[in-house]
Amino acid sequence: MHTIKLLNRAEAELKESCIWYEKQQKGLSKSFRKELSSTFKRIGLNPFLYNHRYDTDLRFAALNEFPFILIYWFDQNLDTVFIASIFYTKRNPEF
């Protein structure tokens, strides 16, 4: 399995999302983290599973149960997947 590294932005988005979900329903952040962990594992096993987008090296992996997309790239030289963002897809672009 390849190494997975969350960049600062992704870590902040993860923390913020977990706090929000836990306020909505006790234990919901645990379900969110469980789905993230499953997606991280799939990416770690095969970083090429998801397609490139926008003529970049960025790949986008949608979660199934939560409205988020993981934005990442794989550095083969470092054998590391870098998670750039855990992006909430229902975000209002004006904010």
Write out pLDDT tens, residues 3-61.
999 999 999 999 999 998 999 899 899 999 999 999 999 999 999 999 887 788 899 99
For domain 3-88, the question of CATH label 3.40.50.2300 is answered with: no
Give kind and range of the element (H or E) at residue 59: strand 59-62
Question: Nearest CA to 37 among 57, 9, 65?
Answer: 65
Q: Packing angle between helix 28-45 and helix 8-24, nearest 10 degrees?
A: 150
Quick one: average pLDDT of 70-83? 94
- What are the start-end ranges of the E strands in the chain? 3-6, 59-62, 68-75, 80-88
What is the value of pTM for the model shown? 0.86
CB 4 within 8 A of CB 78: no
DSSP symbol at 78: T
